[in-house]
């Protein structure tokens, strides 16, 4: 049972335009959400996060929006650059038993075309 | 460079064999996490150790085991290997116990079982 879903396996956008990556979750115990970026042959690297007490967090070109009632979050990249081309993973964290652990989605491959 | 090191980078072995993957966390990080990434799956959480003790378990098979040593490095042991165990195995580390906040990922070990 996939608790974190990224329904778009891939997304292609033009350089300079906005990239919007979406993520849905089913577990209402999740209270912290993260986005990771992964280049080929490298491990995932942390991009941005948001706590469930917020609905928006911004860091430079990257903004994450959280809609708790819809159990949906999205990552906006503006403007998109060719170097942003990578796989983006959405992850959620919540109390499972007495410990927190991260649950990842399957990822979305973003391609930014020059 | 995340500061997390994993060895070896690549491992090719046969079915039925046993292998050990090694991870050194970032300096100062007490938590170590192991993840498996198969071809059609996202990152699957396997197990977490904190300061030498097992703290959380995910979808880890009984044929797999892990430990964290006093110097905080960790090893993931995979035995009675099957073709389906072929995957990328990532180690991550974080300062504290919780899954909230950033985890720093190593470059991964690619395991191929023939």
Contact state of B105 with A45 under an 8 Å Cβ cutoff: yes
pLDDT in tens, A5-64: 999 999 999 999 999 999 999 988 888 899 999 998 889 999 999 988 899 999 999 999
Contact residues on chain B for A34, CB-CB shorter than 8 A = 102
Among chain B residues, CA nearest to A97: B56
For residue B33, which residues of chain A lie inside 8 Å, CB to CB?
Answer: 101-102
Q: What is the nearest CA distance from B14 to chain A, expressed in angstroms? A: 23
How far B15 CA lies from chain A's nearest CA (Å)? Answer: 24
Mean pLDDT for back-to-back runs of 10 residues, chain B (114 residues): 94 97 95 89 88 89 96 97 95 78 90 96
Q: What is the DSSP string of B27-95?
A: TT--EEEEEEE-TTS-EEEEEEEETTEEEEE-S--TTEEEEE-TTS-EEEEE-S--GGG-EEEEEEEES
């Amino acid at each position: 049972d996939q608790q974190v879903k990224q329904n778009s396996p891939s997304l292609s956008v033009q350089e300079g335009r906005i990239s919007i990556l979406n993520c849905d979750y089913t577990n209402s115990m999740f209270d912290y959400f993260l986005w990771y970026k992964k280049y080929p042959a490298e491990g995932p690297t942390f991009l941005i996060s948001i706590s469930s007490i917020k609905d928006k967090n911004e860091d430079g070109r990257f903004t994450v929006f959280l809609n708790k009632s819809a159990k949906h979050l999205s990552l906006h990249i503006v403007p998109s650059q060719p170097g942003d081309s990578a796989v983006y993973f959405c992850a959620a964290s919540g109390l499972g038993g007495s410990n927190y652990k991260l649950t990842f989605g399957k990822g979305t491959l973003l391609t930014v075309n020059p | 460079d995340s500061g997390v090191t994993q060895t070896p980078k690549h491992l090719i072995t046969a079915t039925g064999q046993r292998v050990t993957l090694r991870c050194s966390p970032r300096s100062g990080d007490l938590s170590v996490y192991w993840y498996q990434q198969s071809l059609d799956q996202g990152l699957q959480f396997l197990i977490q150790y904190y300061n030498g003790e097992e703290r959380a378990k995910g979808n880890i098979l009984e044929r797999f085991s892990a430990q964290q040593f006093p110097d905080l490095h960790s090893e993931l042991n995979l035995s009675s290997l099957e073709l389906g165990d072929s995957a990328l195995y990532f180690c991550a580390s974080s300062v504290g116990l919780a899954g909230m906040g950033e985890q720093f990922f190593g470059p991964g070990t690619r395991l191929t079982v023939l």
